[in-house]
Amino acid sequence: MNKRERVFNLLEGKPIDRTPVGFWLHFPESMHHGDAAIRAHMDFVQQTDADILKVMNENVLYDGESRILSTADIGKFRSFGRKDKQFIDQMDIIKRIADQARGEYPILATIHGLIASVFHATGFSGNYVGMGYGLSIFCREKPQQMKGVFDMFTDTLMELVDCSLEAGADGIFYAALGGESKWFFHDEYMEHVSGFEQKLYRHIKEKTPFDVLHICKSDVDFSRFTVLDPTVVNWSVYHNHVSLTQGAELFPNSIILGGFQDRSGVLVDGTPEQIREHTRKILKEMEGKPFIVGSDCTLPTEISTDRIRCVVDEVARQK
């Protein structure tokens, strides 16, 4: 069974020869665009022998000029589309990777979620941990204006989904922020954001059977995302203290992706035998449940691909 058959059989509830494996990371900045980006993706997936080729997205939706610091700046938010350089560059990367992959791998295109994309557009990308509260304050002070912003970005991201699939992606990896209880109260999120996010996620599911919901950060209110009914779901097991099997109960219709910590723990710091032992442990925990072996989030840029290959090889031995 090849990699595409393995993953799509799992998605369709058909028999598979073994559990699929999918890991990813942010490549060095020098490999974010052009030939270097294509080579980095292909080298990574070939060296690790993973089953999924996830195309990273470093083309954040920011015009390079605006700074949105207060409610007085909300009018500076703008839409993006297929004629913008961010779309053009990302579609070129996806197309060239798809051409080189030649159908061997199922290709996931990364879409930064609604909260992430709106935050990127403020001009402070990379500072979400310290400044993410700003969007919740905007919603409290200017609720109608912010609903207009989320509506506009919903349309932008729906077009980005369409363009990504047209360029050669098989599926969408939706990276969601906004679940953190410290920024939005539950009712605020459901009122101001969730309706738009549900519309966007329905669009993804209408366009492809391969959708992955990645829930970023810790202290997450999972009920904000269970309503999306993702085909595949991934979250930080270790930062949210929600195990793989507990997550399977929260998302009963979803395939669970995970098992390893991303920035520390056995995959980053352990010996090869400890990595193999942990692989066997999570396979046993998820035995009989639809599952993809992966990590809580992106792995460290500098991690050795040998460590990931160790997981892939152990999974293959356990089939």
pLDDT score recorded for residue 26: 98
Residues 6 or more apart whose CB falls under 8 angstroms from that of 264 comprise none
pLDDT > 70 fraction of the chain, expressed in percent and rounded: 100
DSSP string, 17-48: SS--B---BPPPGGGSSHHHHHHHHHHHHHHH
pLDDT tops 80 at residue 319? no
Nearest of 262, 266, 284, 283 to residue 275 by alpha carbon: 266
- Looking at residues 95-105, what average pLDDT do you find? 96
Nearest of 69, 175, 73, 84 to residue 124 by alpha carbon: 69
The dihedral over CA atoms of 280, 282, 283, 285, expressed in degrees to the nearest 10, equals 120
pLDDT score recorded for residue 206: 98
Tell me if 165 sits within 8 A of 207, measured CB to CB: yes
| CA–CA distance, 303 with 230 (Å, rounded to integer) | 29
| CA–CA distance, 232 with 112 (Å, rounded to integer) | 16
